[in-house]
Amino acid sequence: MSSGTATRRSQDVLRPRKGLAAAPDAYDRAPLVALWLAGLGLGLVVGIQLATRSPLTGAGALVIELSRWCALLGTYGALLVIVLVARIPALERSVGLDRMVTYHRRLGPAVIVLIAAHVALVTVGYAMSESVSLLEEGTTFLTTYAWVLPAFAGFGLMVMAGLTSWRVARRRMRYETWWVTHLYLYLAIALAYMHQVLHGQQFVTHAWARWIWLALYVVTFGALLAFRVGLPVARSLRHDLRVHAVVRESKDTVSVWIKGRDLEALAVRGGQFFGWRFLTPQMWWQSHPYSLSAGADPSYLRITVKDLGDHSRALARLRPGTRVVAEGPYGVFTADARHGERVVLLAGGVGVTPIRAVLDDLPPSVRTDVLFRSPKMSALILRAELDQIAATRSNVRVRYLVGNRRDYPIDARTLLQLVPDIQVADLYVCGPEDFIAAVREAAHVLGIPGHRIHHEAFSFQSPDTYAVGSGRGVR
């Protein structure tokens, strides 16, 4: 299959497709329902602690009481951290995966601080109550009580996962290393459960508290397994997803075509992305996020990936017929997000891939400008498709901004010269972080409202994975 096939097909896909907007009321209610459920869970946690606390007799007992509060709140926070990345469909489609991941990252440090405070306070409290040294009390905990040493090891794994999420650390790590490290977070939380129900004063003598705590774990990990494992596997088997062809777009970029049956049932929109797992001996164990680079089709999906690391390089060696497990679709960076009939699509480098897919979904009534920024002509991937679309669709104009930043600075003046009516348009932007930041700053200067700026905001920032994910209007 050639890239020209995609161009010809795009001319037949000019009408808006129904899918994510089928039940807007349900999706609008999802964040409110989620907040109520999270609040209910927090109320149960507070209720457990208040109903099971012991009389405070001395400074040591007060410190131990504080440590128990930290343990319960920290563990509940850890469960929320997992829920935020469980990919619950209604929540993801209404809030956006980029925001869910942002909340996940912001809550994570607070969880680690609370668990660290529990470790420190419980050791200090018991050392004060028993009049022994901190070292002696810590040694007693680790060598005498069952599941305390595994729980402490779990705390170490949690800290490691937190440190690897630090922006500076992520930039220096391969995606595979970061991904495996974060799997240990689930083990850490499981180890914490055994420690708490066996030694937590709240649970040892109160069966009802144990059942509530178990229910919170079951709901959390049940959602994770259902939506991150069960649903992707079931969908991939149902649609029989397999690699159809690998097409080289340039010396360092390939497109992978995935075929399947009844793909319309996935309700895919151009600009969304999947977590892709290719079932080869070398790649089956890891999932990587890549945006679609063409609009939805009843028989094919396409991703276009630049050679930026081991995984993306291995895609060029995929053979037709290889089974694929796809987790998604995710993201609200779609044509449905626009607020009018004037759109400007801004792409930087390989960020053109979701921009190209969004272009497929824009109807003829929408006047569209595509601004493609690239340092050199050879890096203009999918250019032939863009040129053909511009030649056959009177409502689409494509401009290539080739050269260094001095030639085409991304600022308000340049954008206004290129698109004189840009101030009334919806802006879709995808590319490196500095490119997105420059467009947002220019839009602010031009007075473009934040709700009309849509950008790709979910990225791992490692050498192997480039800015793929969901985006929505900036608030």
Q: What confidence score (pLDDT) does residue 241 get?
A: 96
Whole-number Å distance between alpha carbons of 359 and 170: 32
Domain end: 235, 261, 292, which one?
Answer: 235
Domain end: 212, 235, 258, which one?
Answer: 235
Please state whether beta strands 288-291 and 273-278 pair in parallel, antiparallel, or not at all (unpaired): antiparallel
Is residue 30 scored above 80 in pLDDT? Answer: no
The pair of structure tokens assigned to 382 is 């999918």
Q: Are residues 231 and 345 in the same domain?
A: no
Answer with the residue of higher pLDDT: 320 or 16.
320
Q: Are residues 216 and 358 in the same domain?
A: no
Q: Residue 23: pLDDT band by 50, 70, 90 thresholds?
A: very low
Whole-number Å distance between alpha carbons of 439 and 333: 16
Task: Classify residue 267: in a domain, yes or no.
Answer: no
Q: Are residues 71 and 204 in the same domain?
A: yes
**Mean pLDDT over residues 67-95, rounded?**
88
Task: Classify residue 311: in a domain, yes or no.
Answer: no
Q: What confidence score (pLDDT) does residue 176 get?
A: 63
Which residues constitute the domain of residue 382? 335-455
Domain end: 188, 214, 235, which one?
Answer: 235
Whole-number Å distance between alpha carbons of 220 and 353: 34
Is residue 185 scored above 90 in pLDDT? Answer: no
Q: What confidence score (pLDDT) does residue 309 get?
A: 60
- Which of 176, 62, 171 minimizes the C-alpha distance to 122? 62
Task: Classify residue 292: in a domain, yes or no.
Answer: no
Task: Classify residue 276: in a domain, yes or no.
Answer: no
- Which of 49, 114, 53, 44 minimizes the C-alpha distance to 78? 114
Whole-number Å distance between alpha carbons of 103 and 81: 8
Whole-number Å distance between alpha carbons of 282 and 254: 19
Task: Classify residue 437: in a domain, yes or no.
Answer: yes
DSSP state of 316: G
Q: Alpha-carbon torsion 365, 384, 473, 303, what sign?
A: positive
Q: Are residues 97 and 218 in the same domain?
A: yes
Burial, 223: exposed, middle or buried (Cβ in 10 Å; 0-12, 13-18, 19+)? middle
Alpha helices in 364-449 (DSSP H): 383-392, 412-418, 433-446
**296: Cβ contacts below 8 Å, ≥ 6 apart:** 13, 17, 19, 263, 264, 266, 268, 269, 270, 360, 361
Q: Residue 202: pLDDT band by 50, 70, 90 thresholds?
A: confident
Task: Note the pLDDT tens digit of each residue in 359-391.
Answer: 999 999 999 999 999 888 888 999 999 999 999
Q: Are residues 41 and 190 in the same domain?
A: yes
Is residue 470 scored above 90 in pLDDT? Answer: no
The pair of structure tokens assigned to 343 is 């759109």
Whole-number Å distance between alpha carbons of 469 and 466: 9
Burial, 39: exposed, middle or buried (Cβ in 10 Å; 0-12, 13-18, 19+)? exposed
Task: Classify residue 199: in a domain, yes or no.
Answer: yes
- Which of 363, 366, 371 minimizes the C-alpha distance to 342? 366
| b/e per residue 346-365 (b: at least 16 CB within 10 A) | bbbbbbbbbbbbbbbbbeee
18-27, 56-65, 207-216, 336-345: least confidently modelled range: 18-27
Task: Classify residue 310: in a domain, yes or no.
Answer: no
Count of Cβ atoms closer than 10 Å to residue 141 Cβ: 18
**Mean pLDDT over residues 1-29, rounded?**
40
The pair of structure tokens assigned to 17 is 């497709």
Q: Residue 168: pLDDT band by 50, 70, 90 thresholds?
A: low
> What is the percentage of the chain residues whose pLDDT exceeds 70?
86
DSSP state of 13: -
Amino acid (1-letter code) at residue 306: K
- Residue 341 in contact with residue 364, Cβ under 8 Å? no
Q: Are residues 87 and 225 in the same domain?
A: yes
Angle of CA points 220, 238, 88, to nearest 5°: 25
Whole-number Å distance between alpha carbons of 292 and 283: 19
- Which of 470, 445, 453, 465 minimizes the C-alpha distance to 345? 453
CATH of the domain at 179: 1.20.120
CATH of the domain at 404: 3.40.50.80
Whole-number Å distance between alpha carbons of 342 and 98: 25
Task: Classify residue 304: in a domain, yes or no.
Answer: no
Q: Are residues 52 and 179 in the same domain?
A: yes
Q: What confidence score (pLDDT) does residue 313 get?
A: 76
Q: Are residues 37 and 160 in the same domain?
A: yes
Number of domains in the chain: 2
Whole-number Å distance between alpha carbons of 136 and 117: 19
Q: What confidence score (pLDDT) does residue 45 get?
A: 92
**163: Cβ contacts below 8 Å, ≥ 6 apart:** 169
Burial, 51: exposed, middle or buried (Cβ in 10 Å; 0-12, 13-18, 19+)? exposed
